[in-house]
Structure 1
Amino acid sequence: MNLSARCKHYRLRQPLFRRSSHFYKYELPTGFCRSLLLENLKAHGLMSDSLIMQRDTTDLTAENRELKLRLQAMEQQAQLRDGMCSTIH
């Protein structure tokens, strides 16, 4: 390729190069940052959902323990009542 052909080739490619350079320099990082921010927001939302579920699980576990103890106490009272009724009759 002679010098004039190379210059012509370069001049034809230069606007394309500028466009792609602009894309890689400005638009791609902006898009990447935007998608990164969206992913961070999603992750934050999922983390907060996870914390809420952990709290709910802890609360339900405590409530379940309390209900089991109440049930045991009611069963013991029923057994005592049945025992007292059988000794009376």
Structure 2
Amino acid sequence: MRQTIEVLPMGPHEFAATVGEGQEITHHRVTVAEQVLADLQIPEVDERHLVEETIGYLLDREPGTALSHDIDTDQLYRADDSYLTELRDRLLGRG
């Protein structure tokens, strides 16, 4: 099923993400951690694109309806060893 992701900035390092999967639409608040930005080692990374790729990464593992409303990239980074590597690849167009 085709998924759509819309990301809008809410404030510094905070975004609203809407995920559509068929008739299902979910809403999420995504916080981008400074540590994730630093450890990515990608100068001037577009945080909006980072959020899109983070949502895409999560959707590869579970449906949008299973995603938490609040997504913190720092918690994801600490809990999932492959997150940062795959996120970097996605942001650099290698994923």
Name the TM-score, length of structure 2 as normaliser.
0.19
Larger Rg: 1
Give the structure with the higher percent helix.
1
Higher relative contact order (Cα pairs below 8 Å, separated by 6+ residues): 2
Give the structure with the higher percent strand.
2
Name the TM-score, length of structure 1 as normaliser.
0.20
